Amino acid sequence: MEETYLLNVEGVKKKILHGGQGELPKLQDGSKITFHFQTLKDDFERTVIDDSREAGIPMEIIVGKMFKLEIWETLLSSMRAGEVAEFWCDAIHTGMYALVSRGMRRIAEGRDPLEGQKHRCGMGNMFDYHSTGYDDLDELQRTPQPLIFIMELFRVEEPSAYKRDTWAMSKEEKLAAVPVLHSEGNRLVLHKEFRQAAAKYQEAVICLRNLQAKEKPWEDGWLKLESLVTPLVLNYCQCQLELGEYYEVLEHTTELLQKHNDNAKAYFKRAKAHAAVWNEREAREDFLRVAHLDPSMAAAVKKELKQLGERMRKKHVEDQKRYQGLFQLPRGP
């Protein structure tokens, strides 16, 4: 299978190194392609630029999700499962490779691929900063050139055959996923599986926040999404209270109250978190706000304040005994 031939695409040559099985995949928007790749320079040494095997996990792309190196979808669509092929691509197809590689390397390093970028297109950012942060990629950016891609195709999955990551969903899919995730979280809470429930609520919040990012703050579309976010965040905080993650509750409830300072439930959960970490003054202030904002919660507030007082008195007695023992001189014979 060493024969070299041209695809029906200008500036691309393909060589099959190992044959695959089955029919050519029928790609559609949302299909997930899993593969390994190696990128080489078209020089005498065939210098290796990137190798996905070094990261230890295969590459995944979602068809139709605007992957910056469009030619890859074309190359992969010509392969069968299990096939290994080498592609030579002219510079007309590889001009964006430096930016794509930069993002993939940052992800492999555990960093944000968009770190430091302004809200502009990739080329605009490149003109702003003049560097990718990697010398070999800067060279590619300055001097566009043909590249060689060696790819091994593992599988192509239809949109309905795998669990879609949030970022890969369309707007309609995200909106449809939110009530399902909310319901799954509630079911897990009933079984006291708080960590798993928190993950469901968090995933739903991420879906909504992604949609909110495309809306103008405080306008109708943004506010409608925010009304869906708030109960999910409160449910998430309740799970974190059950798990003893009090500082996380303080962080999320405070963030929520900066936007909605009349939310009695958020104050109540923050008060309980303050009480759990011995912030007596802050806890009392938040509990009193709850009673003021929602008189129907007055009985619950009274009970919590009584428990807080008992806990603080007990702690005070224990602290006194501890400090008294610390400063007591040892008795002689």
pLDDT tens per residue, range 245-274: 999 999 999 999 999 999 999 999 999 999
Structure tokens at 70: 């469009």
Instruction: Report the pLDDT value the prediction gives residue 1, as an integer from 0 to 100.
Output: 47
Q: Single out the residue of 66, 64, 39, 33 nearest to residue 52, CA to CA.
A: 39
Are 72 and 189 in the same domain? no
Are 216 and 281 in the same domain? yes
Contact 85, 150 (CB under 8 A): yes
Please list, residue by residue across 208-222, b when 16 or more beta carbons sit within 10 angstroms of its beta carbon and e when fewer do: beebbeeeeeeeeeb
Of the residues 107, 125, 157, which one is the last residue of a structural domain? 157
pLDDT digits (tens, 9 = 90+) for 101-112: 888 887 776 654
Of 119-128, 180-189, 278-287, minimum mean pLDDT range: 119-128
Tell me whether residue 163 is in a domain: no
* Domain range enclosing 303: 171-323
Contact 154, 58 (CB under 8 A): yes
The chain-wide mean pLDDT, for the chain, equals 85
Are 11 and 143 in the same domain? yes
Is 90 exceeded by the pLDDT of residue 227? yes
Tell me whether residue 54 is in a domain: yes
Residue 216, domain CATH:
1.25.40.10
Residue type, position 181, single letter: L
Residue 124, domain CATH:
3.10.50.40
Model-wide pTM > 0.85? no
CA dihedral 278, 281, 287, 288 (to 10 degrees): 170
Confidence label for 168 from pLDDT (cuts 50, 70 and 90): low
How many domains does the chain fold into? 2
Is 90 exceeded by the pLDDT of residue 302? yes
